């Protein structure tokens, strides 16, 4: 068994296999449809086109998951991808749907805010922002709700391959500075689904939130 676990570890000590196990396990349009609130969840959020589906795909290594979230009818649902019985990646609906009526947007916002504030299983929020367009209104709103709920936030500055290394680093420093100025708490990293850079760093944050150490101790 130990040998097998050793096999699952990558060089940075994360259990990559856990993420490769991800499978679509259901969707909810309202909080009453969520599964039992007794495991570990990490929510993924971002404006539409931020690269959220690609990031979920890169982290799990499963292309079909991204497609699942984009299935018509599911783009405005909370989609669950379980990794094991206790742990799930939760894909929150993106924003920027021009055709969604205002009233519906407000209803969604209320649902999202409640999910972030009330969900016991929720251990962290991964917020995807296109490195060229960070900290838009939706992002600030998510950060504010998460901070109010004392929920840790980790920001992936996606599509970092679009900028040269120095410019990407400068963009990250600028985001960190703006967060400090706005008194918003979040860790930040560069991420690219195109060249997979930043994957290990994102996975170690997930490992921490999912308490993968505790999982290994049980084995």
Q: Which residues bind ligand GDP (CB under 6 A)?
A: 46, 48-54, 94, 158-159, 161-162, 192-194
Strand, coil or helix: what is 219?
coil
Q: Which lies closer to ligand GDP via its Cβ, residue 43 or residue 212? A: 43
Q: In angstroms, what is the minimal distance from the CB of 157 to ligand GDP?
A: 10
Q: Which lies closer to ligand GDP via its Cβ, residue 115 or residue 138? A: 138
Q: HSE (CB half, 13 Å, CA atoms) of 116?
A: 29
Q: In angstroms, what is the minimal distance from the CB of 96 to ligand GDP?
A: 8
Token readout for 33 is: 């449809």
CA distances from 156 to 51, 135, 185, 216 (A): 9, 12, 14, 27
Q: In angstroms, what is the minimal distance from the CB of 98 to ligand GDP?
A: 14
In contact, 200 and 12? CB cutoff 8 Å: yes
Q: In angstroms, what is the minimal distance from the CB of 181 to ligand GDP?
A: 26
In contact, 129 and 155? CB cutoff 8 Å: yes
In contact, 145 and 186? CB cutoff 8 Å: no
Angstrom distance (rounded) from CA 22 to CA 44 = 14
Q: Which lies closer to ligand GDP via its Cβ, residue 33 or residue 195? A: 195
Q: In angstroms, what is the minimal distance from the CB of 29 to ligand GDP?
A: 18
Q: Which lies closer to ligand GDP via its Cβ, residue 48 or residue 141? A: 48
In contact, 157 and 175? CB cutoff 8 Å: yes
CA 48 to centroid of chain Cα atoms: 13
Q: Which lies closer to ligand GDP via its Cβ, residue 133 or residue 180? A: 133
């Amino acid at each position: 068994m130990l040998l097998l676990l050793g096999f699952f570890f990558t060089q940075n000590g994360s259990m990559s296999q856990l993420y490769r196990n991800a499978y679509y396990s259901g969707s909810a349009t309202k909080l009453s449809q969520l599964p039992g609130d007794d495991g570990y969840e990490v929510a993924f959020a971002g404006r539409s086109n931020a690269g959220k589906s690609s990031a979920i795909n890169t982290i799990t290594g499963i292309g079909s998951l991204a497609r699942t979230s984009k299935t018509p009818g599911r783009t405005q649902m909370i989609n669950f991808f379980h990794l094991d019985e206790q742990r799930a990646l939760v894909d929150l609906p993106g924003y920027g749907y021009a055709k969604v009526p205002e009233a519906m947007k407000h209803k969604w916002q209320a649902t999202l805010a409640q999910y972030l504030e009330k969900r016991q299983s929720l251990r962290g929020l991964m917020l995807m922002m296109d490195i060229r367009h960070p900290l838009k209104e939706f992002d600030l709103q998510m950060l504010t709700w998460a901070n109010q709920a004392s929920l840790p936030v980790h920001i992936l500055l996606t599509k970092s391959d679009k900028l040269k290394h120095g410019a990407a680093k400068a963009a990250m420093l600028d985001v960190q500075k703006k967060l400090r100025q706005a008194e918003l708490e979040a860790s930040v990293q560069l991420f690219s689904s195109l060249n997979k850079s930043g994957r290990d760093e994102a996975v170690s944050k997930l490992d921490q939130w999912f308490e993968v150490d505790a999982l290994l101790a049980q084995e």
